Amino acid sequence: MAGTPATRDPAASPAPPAAREARRRWYRRPSNWVALAVFGFFFVNLAGVIGVPLLDSFGTRWFTTWLPDGWTTKWYGDAWQEFKLGQVFWATALVSVLVVFFSVVIGVPAAYALARRQFPGKKLVLLLFLLPILVPPITYGIPMATVLYKFHLAGTFTGVILANLVPSVPFVVLTMTPFIEQIDPRIEAAARMCGARTTAIFLRVLAPLLVPGILAASVLVLVRTVGMFELTFLTAGPDSQTLIVALYYAMFSAGIRTQQSIDAMAVMYTLSMLVLLVLALRYVNPTQLVTRVRDE
């Protein structure tokens, strides 16, 4: 209308004096500029570490120019055939799924016992569960691999799974214990009063309540197993190598291999880990799930 003042765009309105002053204070602090420079340096290096193999995996030749001379996707097909990635992906999936399954089967009842029972030496048991997670895997991986070789288990899927269970089961126990502690014990007492046995209580009462925690522990163990190099490297055979071990052998074993094919294999590994990490961060944040159980 003719006499109506024009509506002012909120985005175009000047910032309040307090906001402008806070902005000036931020620019005046040298520590903020130092932190910004450190983060910028980190992200530039991260982009270089990821970007160089990615560009090289699609380049025909790349020697003295800023970018490859041409672009192609043939290196991915060559890597798939040369390094037998179909078998490697199958071995990775099989080991990871079985490690997750046995970790949950063993770890959830152990977490229940630690959450519900008081017994002498409980703190010592918790400390023993922490050790495989805190100690570098190579320190106990070599003696464990020696034992597995002695019993002819190393070099097989069984040996790789057993080795990865050592840090995975404590990880499930420490992840699941807070979830179990948030469940009111009176629910179990009411089920016992109705005549339910221990197995029925665990499967029909506790298991549905523990689904978020089990899902969190499963995905986190899956990520850890796919990325576990030391234990798998020490116990894997030619047919039981996971993707990260196969990538190591492709890079450092004897023989001449095309660098672009190795970079293509590295990109496949990076993408698989990225998918798993996004899945873990998006759906199974343990802190949020514990808070949700507490609120309920």
Give the tens place of pLDDT for each residue, 75-101. 999 999 988 999 999 999 999 999 999
Residue 133, helix vs strand vs coil = helix
The band of 285, judged by pLDDT with boundaries at 50, 70 and 90, is: low
| Integer angstrom CA distances of residue 216 from 161, 178, 281 | 20, 12, 10
Mean pLDDT rounded to a whole number for the chain: 83
Residue 289 has pLDDT above 50, yes or no: no
What is 46-92 written as a DSSP string?
HHHHHHHHHHHHHBS--SSSSS-SSB-SHHHHHHHHHTTHHHHHHHH
At 21, the pLDDT band (50, 70, 90 cuts) reads low
pLDDT at 293: 39
Residue 295, token pair as written in the block: 């609120």
Rounded Cα gap, residues 283 and 276, in angstroms: 11
For 154-206, how does the pLDDT look when each residue is reduced to its tens digit (9 = 90+)? 989 999 999 999 999 998 998 888 888 888 888 888 888 888 887 888 888 88
Give residues with Cβ within 8 angstroms of 67, minimum separation 6: 55, 59
Query: What does the pLDDT average to over 105-113?
Result: 90
Contacts 24+ apart (CB under 8 A), 58-65: 59/260
pTM: 0.79
Q: Which domains does the chain have, with CATH numbers?
A: 21-72 (no CATH), 78-295 (1.10.3720.10)
Number of Cβ within 10 Å of residue 288's Cβ equals 11
